[in-house]
Amino acid sequence: MINYQAIRVIYKYEMLRAWNTLLQTIASPVISTSLYFVVFGAAIGSRIEQIEGVPYGVFIVPGLVMLSLLTQSIANASFGIFFPKFTGTIYEVMSAPISFFEIVVGYVGAAATKSLVLGVIILITANLFVDLNIAHPFVMALFLVLTCVSFALFGFIIGLWATNFEKLQLIPMLVITPLVFLGGSFYSVSMLPPAWQTITLFNPVLYLISGFRWSFFEVADVSVGVSLAMICMFLLACLALVWWMFKTGYRLKQ
Amino acid sequence: MKNIVHIEALSKTYDSGHQALSRVDLDIHQGEILALLGPNGAGKTTLISIICGIVSASTGTVSVAGHDNVRDYRKTRDLIGLVPQELTLGAFDTVWNTVNFSRGLFGKPPDTAYLEQLLKDLSLWDKRDSELRELSGGMKRRVLIAKALSHEPRVLFLDEPTAGVDVELRQDMWKMVRKLNDSGVTIILTTHYIEEAEEIADRVGIISQGKLLLVEDKQNLMQKLGKKQLLIELREMVEAIPAALAEYNLEISRDGGHLVYTYDTQSERTGITSLLQDLNDNGMSLKDLKSSQSSLEEIFVNLVSTK
């Protein structure tokens, strides 16, 4: 038996939260994406040649989408579970006839949905600046969904782990943002010196961006199969971690 | 009497090493109002939190309506509503949304009519579109109660429901508690005010330093409360009580200089006049008389301080 009502209300509650901060939810990514296009696409991009046959302004679109998707998925999901913990309202979820699985589906599902919508908005915004052609729409959609879900799950873990606001920001700021910038969001790995190319291969975000970029231009730093495998592995790792956290009542139950 | 909650050998030691509960056994009767009385930090909230599933027990078991609260947590939690001690509420949700949220969390399909009546009963209907942060402390308390009742529980836990609550709301709350109780809801409330336990409860449990010291019918406790003792100091020591005074059930002090007479202040005749007469007739002359009453407060303080 699954408590569908509970999943429904948690999902709805989290979506409503985004709706109430609509300006922040939608306007800020649209504005920042536009800024990236102005700076990287128009100002700097005009001096950069095409990368592997793709104009620079177009080339950075998948990286830009991933940048927002990763940070927003994490921010949404981590805040969604951290805040009730912080205010104490989590007592209600804890005392309700609801399983950990249902809690995760509710919170992570809502966070993933929000970043998915965000990704689509950014793609539409990008389309206003450059001429975008998507070679493999289904693969792109698959990458989009998998990324949203995995990183929302990752954010949920951070939200459970964090005991204060500083910790909540720590991993997104110190780990995720550098990894995204160094993972080939705005360049092709082949442009780096050989030593750095090897180092970059240890950056998991590279596989995400590479695979996602392939679905647009059929241009990739690593093969798309490897990319898919990597994101699935990350998803499974997060699932295992969440399962363990709930099994032990980590940071929730004394 | 049927038990709705059965607690066996429940202990809890927190990670910090603090032992909050120590082998608590308790049966809560179906349909009763039970008051758990105890000073701050006695373990009342821990006990409730374990029953509700917020804190896990170190050892021991809890069953609700025959279901284990860990193994069959869906069945037990379904039956339970909890009003926490702190005013823990979101800030930006409206009253209406938050009670609907609570109902859904407990797996119940939306029921506008029920929730409307609930809010009306708690004088919250006019505030249904207000954001929670705009409400006064008393109103927030009402919202917490509405949330706890949103899924129509059979057992309601009220953790210090009158902390920071004015007289009017307190009266309202007791009215509501009685009404709920009349409809068959079992109610457990914690408090550190003895008068509250006296006012509302059927049974009173006294808890201190993690131990449940006693659970008794309020009537019994009140009887103890209604008893007075007369301490009679004698001029000359006696070794035994004369047979003629047997009907008074006198106790004799160890040194033989005092007699203790226990009587019920609420009965028609206390028997004091005839006792004094009989003492005189038996040649015992009195030096002094002192009467004292043991209050629930005293019983409580005695229990709590001696352990």
CA dihedral A44, A49, A54, A58 (to 10 degrees): 10
Neighboring chain B residues of A107 at a CB cutoff of 8 Å: none
The residues near A75 (Cβ < 8 Å, ≥ 6 apart) are A155, A172
How would you class A136 by CB atoms within 10 Å of its CB: exposed for 0-12, middle for 13-18, buried for 19 or more? middle
Closest-CA residue of chain B to A252: B54
Q: Which residues of A touch B (CB under 8 A)?
A: 1, 3-6, 8-10, 13, 16-17, 20, 84, 87-89, 91-99, 249, 253-254
- Per-residue confidence (pLDDT) for residue B263, from 0 to 100: 81
pLDDT in tens, B40-71: 888 999 999 999 999 999 999 999 999 999 99
Residue B133 DSSP one-character state: G
Reply yes or no on whether the pLDDT at B225 is more than 80: no
Reply yes or no on whether the pLDDT at B298 is more than 70: no
pLDDT in tens, B93-105: 899 999 999 999 9
| ipTM of the modeled complex | 0.87
Closest-CA residue of chain B to A92: B102
The residues near A224 (Cβ < 8 Å, ≥ 6 apart) are A139, A210, A211, A214, A215
Q: Which residue from B297, B162, B305 is spatially nearest to B221, judged by alpha carbons?
A: B297
What is the average per-residue pLDDT within B165-186? 89
- The per-residue pLDDT string of chain A (254 residues; one tens digit each, 9 = 90 and over) reads 888 999 999 999 999 888 877 777 778 778 888 888 888 777 777 777 788 788 888 888 898 899 889 988 999 999 999 999 998 899 999 999 998 889 999 999 999 999 999 999 889 888 888 888 889 999 999 999 999 999 999 999 999 999 899 989 888 888 888 888 888 888 888 888 888 888 888 888 898 899 999 999 888 888 889 999 999 999 999 999 998 988 887 777 77
Phi, psi of B38 (to 5 degrees): 180, 155
List for chain A the helix, strand, coil content (%; round to 5): 80, 0, 20
Strand B258-264 versus strand B251-252 pairing type: antiparallel
Helix (H) or strand (E) run with residue B66 in it = none
CA–CA separation, B198 vs A245, rounded Å? 44
Closest-CA residue of chain A to B147: A92
Residue scoring higher pLDDT (A247 or B177): B177
* Contact state of B84 with A91 under an 8 Å Cβ cutoff: yes
Q: Which residue from A212, A81, A87, A211 is spatially nearest to A154, judged by alpha carbons?
A: A81
Closest-CA residue of chain B to A97: B74
Neighboring chain A residues of B73 at a CB cutoff of 8 Å: 97
- Per-residue confidence (pLDDT) for residue B190, from 0 to 100: 92
- Quick one: CA dihedral A27, A29, A31, A34, positive or negative? negative
Categorize the per-residue pLDDT at B146 as very low, low, confident or very high, splitting at 50, 70 and 90.
very high
What is the average per-residue pLDDT within B264-288? 82
Closest-CA residue of chain B to A103: B105
Reply yes or no on whether the pLDDT at B74 is more than 80: yes
Residue scoring higher pLDDT (A195 or B156): B156
Neighboring chain A residues of B109 at a CB cutoff of 8 Å: 5
Phi, psi of A203 (to 5 degrees): -90, 110
Average pLDDT of chain B? Answer: 87
Distance of alpha carbon B187 from its chain centroid, rounded? 10
* Contact state of B88 with A89 under an 8 Å Cβ cutoff: yes
CA–CA separation, B127 vs B17, rounded Å? 44
CA–CA separation, B218 vs B157, rounded Å? 19
Phi, psi of B135 (to 5 degrees): -85, 155
Helix (H) or strand (E) run with residue B31 in it = none
- Per-residue confidence (pLDDT) for residue A144, from 0 to 100: 94
* Contact state of B54 with A87 under an 8 Å Cβ cutoff: no
Neighboring chain B residues of A8 at a CB cutoff of 8 Å: 104
> Which ranges of B73-232 does DSSP label H, i.e. alpha helix?
73-79, 95-105, 112-121, 137-149, 167-182, 194-200, 218-226
Strand partners, A78: none
Neighboring chain B residues of A97 at a CB cutoff of 8 Å: 73-78, 106-107
Q: How many CB pairs under 8 A join A and B?
A: 79
B9 contacts B164 by C-beta, under 8 angstroms: no
Categorize the per-residue pLDDT at B244 as very low, low, confident or very high, splitting at 50, 70 and 90.
confident
Q: Which of A95-104, B108-117, B121-130, B288-297 shows the lowest mean pLDDT across its residues? A: B288-297
CA–CA separation, B6 vs B65, rounded Å? 8
Q: Which residue from A3, A96, A5, A6 is spatially nearest to B80, judged by alpha carbons?
A: A96
CA–CA separation, B43 vs B64, rounded Å? 20
Q: Which residues of B touch A (CB under 8 A)?
A: 14-15, 52-56, 73-78, 80, 82, 84, 86, 88-93, 97, 100-109, 147
A231 contacts A150 by C-beta, under 8 angstroms: yes
C-beta neighbour count of B184 within 10 angstroms: 9
Neighboring chain B residues of A89 at a CB cutoff of 8 Å: 88-90
- Per-residue confidence (pLDDT) for residue B296, from 0 to 100: 62
Q: Which of A63-72, A125-134, B19-28, B286-295 shows the lowest mean pLDDT across its residues? A: B286-295
